[in-house]
Homo-oligomer: A and B are copies of this chain.
Amino acid sequence: MNLLIEEDATVSDAVLKAIAHIPTRSLLAIVAQGFFEKLGDRDFMRIAAWLAQKSFDEGGCPIGALIVDNATQQILGKGHNTLVQGNDPYNHGETAAIRDAGRRDFSQTTIYTSLSPCDVCAALLHMRQFDRVVVGDVTNAKGNEELLRAKGVRVDILEDSMAVALYAKYRRERPDLDMEDWKGVAAVRKCKEGGSEAERS
């Protein structure tokens, strides 16, 4: 089969990081399907954290996400925020993963996101009828978990220490970028001008 990662390979950070970097459509040419079947929520969330790290290393916002088929545990889509990399005012981890997955029925899938979803992504996740959302960081942001549950989406919180530490570091180092990603360039300008409108909601 010539697979680099066989079914019996150890689940390690090196492998999960590689999975984050390998294009979704190439995964099954490199990693055995049986390997994915061994992974649990914590492993999938760590892949989301490695996607966040990839974005951070590219100078971008460190938020990653991936979509997993509930039945087969195959990764259907993954990605990270591309505000900086794509000059895109709104492509969050969740939308990047959805775009990568393409036109699909998401009602039997789980989306793992390294950071609690913003209002826009939360609306998108229930409109696209995701079965389940797993959130990897409610320390640095939270608020839409109850809204999602009220809309019928299953929500689990499973903090990933790497994701939480990375986002905290990024927010300390790049507060303007963090604000732009949540509230736009206008909020950053108003904040610098001393306005109150830029406060995080």
Contact = CB atoms under 8 A, between A and B. Distances in A.
Interface stretch (A22-30, A50-58, A98-106, A159-167): A98-106
Copies per complex of this chain: 2
Contacts of A3: none
Q: What class of interface size applies to chain A in its complex with B? A: 20 to 34
Interface stretch (A37-45, A85-93, A133-141): A85-93
Interface string A64-88: 0000000000000000000100111
Max count, chain B CB within 10 A of own CB: residue among A91, A118, A185: A185
Interface of A: 83, 86-91, 95, 98-99, 101-107, 118-120, 123-124, 127-129, 180, 182-187, 189-190
